[in-house]
Amino acid sequence: MSHRAWVVTGEASPQHRLALVEREPPALAPDEVRLQVDVCGVCRTDLHLAAGELPAKRPLVAPGHEVVGRVVEVGAEVDDVTLGERLGVAWLRRTCGRCRWCRAGAENLCPRSTYTGWDADGGYAETVTVPAGYAYRIPDGFTDLEAAPLLCAGIIGYRSLRMANLPPGGRLGIYGFGASAHVTAQIAVAQGAELHVMTRGAGARDLALELGAASVGDAYDCPPVALDAAILFAPVGTLVPTALAALAAGGTLAVAGIHLSDVPVLDYQQHLFRERSLTSVTANTRADGDQLLTLAGRLHVRPRVTPYPFEGAAQALSDLEDGRVDGAAVLVLGASAGQSAGQV
Ligand SMILES: [Zn+2]
Ligand SMILES: [Zn+2]
Beta bridge partners of 247: 227
Domain boundaries, the chain: 3-151+283-343, 155-280
Nearest to 125 by CA among 51, 204, 22: 22
- Encode pLDDT of 211-265 as tens digits: 999 999 999 999 999 999 999 999 999 999 999 999 999 999 999 988 899 999 9
d(CA 196, CA 321): 24
- Domains 3-151+283-343 and 155-280 fall in the same CATH topology: no
| Structure confidence at residue 335 as a pLDDT band (50, 70, 90) | very low
User: If you measure from the C-alpha of residue 103 to the centroid of ligand 1, how many angstroms do you get, rounded to a whole number?
Assistant: 7
Ligand of minimum distance to the alpha carbon of 97: 1
Ligand of minimum distance to the alpha carbon of 98: 1
Ligand of minimum distance to the alpha carbon of 152: 2
User: If you measure from the C-alpha of residue 67 to the centroid of ligand 1, how many angstroms do you get, rounded to a whole number?
Assistant: 24
User: If you measure from the C-alpha of residue 9 to the centroid of ligand 2, how many angstroms do you get, rounded to a whole number?
Assistant: 19
Looking at CATH, the fold of the domain delimited by 155-280 is given as Rossmann fold (3.40.50)
Of the CATH numbers 3.90.180.10, 3.30.56.10, 2.60.40.1080, 1.10.357.10, which one belongs to the domain with range 3-151+283-343? 3.90.180.10
Q: Could you tell me if 206 and 213 are in contact, meaning their C-beta atoms sit under 8 angstroms apart? A: no
Ligand of minimum distance to the alpha carbon of 105: 1
User: If you measure from the C-alpha of residue 31 to the centroid of ligand 1, how many angstroms do you get, rounded to a whole number?
Assistant: 18
Q: How far apart are the first and last CA of the chain?
A: 23
Ligand of minimum distance to the alpha carbon of 42: 2
- Encode pLDDT of 286-321 as tens digits: 999 999 999 999 999 999 999 999 999 999 999 999
Ligand of minimum distance to the alpha carbon of 100: 1
Which residues have a beta carbon within 5 Å of ligand 1, which is an ion?
A: 95-96, 99, 102, 110
Full-model pTM: 0.91
d(CA 106, CA 100): 8
- Encode pLDDT of 123-169 as tens digits: 999 999 999 999 999 999 999 999 999 999 999 999 999 999 999 99
pLDDT of residue 339: 34
Question: Which alpha helices (DSSP H) does the chain contain, by range?
Answer: 44-50, 100-103, 144-149, 155-163, 179-190, 202-210, 239-245, 286-298, 313-321
